Amino acid sequence: MERSYTILLGKGGRYLARGLGCSSSSEYPFELGSRASAEPPRPAIHREKLTAQELQELSEEPDFVAAAEIMRTRLLSPVPDTATDVGPAAPASRRKRQPWGVAAVGADSSKFTGADVTVALLDTGIDATHPAFRGVDLVQKDFTGTGNGDASGHGTHCAGVFFGRNVDGVRIGVAPGVRRALIGKILERNVGDSDMLIRGISWAHEEGARIISMSVGLDFAATVKEREREGWAGELATAVTLEAYRANLRLLDRLLHMLRMQEPFTGGAIMVAAAGNDSSRGPDGEFITSACPPAGTDTVVSVGSLDPDSDGRGYRVSNFSNSGVVITAPGREIVSAAVGGGLKVLSGTSTAAPHVAGVAALWWQAVRQSSRPANATLVRGKLISTAKSAGLSRAVYPSERGAGLVAAPIDSLALADGQRDQRRRGGGPSTDRDIGWVGGEIGAKSTGFEPISIYLGKMRSAPSGGRRNLC
């Protein structure tokens, strides 16, 4: 029996050139090619229908990297009770809502705007006619087969937070100086799968995106139901889907590894992904679940959501925000662009992620203007090492807040470093010290340019003579 797979090959994909009888190679041609140089292999991605025997033969090919059965994906949808309009037709009390996230991350006081940094958003598309995107070169690519545009409005809202211009005098965008944005439409109503996600990531990287923002997750439950409709028995449908889930994680990790190997030659890209809104914190108890892949996978900056405290002097983790995050950002009642014009309010980690992506664009510009080489590893390190833990409740687990609230570069790298060092010496209520780690490995990472440390974890300062433990 044939099943649909995403195939990841290196060096341009010799397997398809040989033509082993797979029926759909011409339907989804997507070759990223290879370069006649000393660079590592670049990925070639194909969608194929294969039998078990054909899959086994393929795995023995020298250019084979990974294969995964295609499974459904889902939009990490906004929290339902906060999708409200703040346009001209909205009540006056609602129109008074103002964006707080831009100021919370310090973007409003930064001299950097993301100018000359190419970014990418993988979501439901975009309303390219919205005034928030005036002056932006929007390069759209539809992976869903439904055409460009944004029927749901989710992608438009996220794009507004990421790089939107002011709307009616209201600043909604963290990086409003971005001039070129790649918009990969990988989701539409009831249309979206893992193959579209993988293709979108590869396309954005190939087109030169430095920051790639996503608010999508693998949909295990929907894939199980799809298998059951195909005639698989309940337990078998679950088992088959679990294997597909594991295979997709392996494929995603290997794709990201291949892209990281290109960093010394291209500068690389920072992957930012929403952690998901599946948790519940409240007076009746807590249910906290882990980040939904691709968030939580190797080197992806998974983003959790923060709310303002009731007293307005600090922040707490949003009740819906998943754990296992790298960093956090504003995600509650975020004002941004609405399809058709105007503004609306949404809440969720999918509104927190573009805050982080926007700040990453500011840091990329800041590093580029310094004497340091601009590459994904260095910029990712700056993004994480300068996050603020001051103002966050000490009762919050590190896995729920990561390094803390993302912070924009203020004036220069030297000033930002000095402020960070001052904060570590005594600023804020936290005495945590950052330690360098990436992908679970503690220590320095080589970028191909110079060894640097990546800050992603926390080490609590022990009393004098005491023992230091990871927490």
- pLDDT digits 0-9 by tens, 117-164: 999 999 999 999 999 999 999 999 999 999 999 999 999 999 999 999
Calpha distance 224→12 (Å, rounded): 33
Does domain 74-411 match CATH 3.40.50.200?
yes
Six token digits for residue 246:
């594991």
Work out the average pLDDT over 305-323.
86
Nearest of 114, 120, 109, 118 to residue 176 by alpha carbon: 114
Residue 60 vs residue 26, higher pLDDT = 60
Type of residue found at 138: L
Is 50 exceeded by the pLDDT of residue 418?
A: no
Q: Could you tell me the residue ranges of all domains in the chain?
A: 3-69, 74-411
Torsion of CA 79, 83, 86, 90, to 10 degrees: -140
Tell me the whole-structure pTM to 2 decimals: 0.81
**Rounded to an integer, what is the distance from CA 378 to the centroid of its chain?**
17
Q: 255: burial class by Cβ within 10 Å (0-12, 13-18, 19+)?
A: buried
Residue 398 vs residue 355, higher pLDDT = 355
Nearest of 225, 223, 101 to residue 161 by alpha carbon: 101
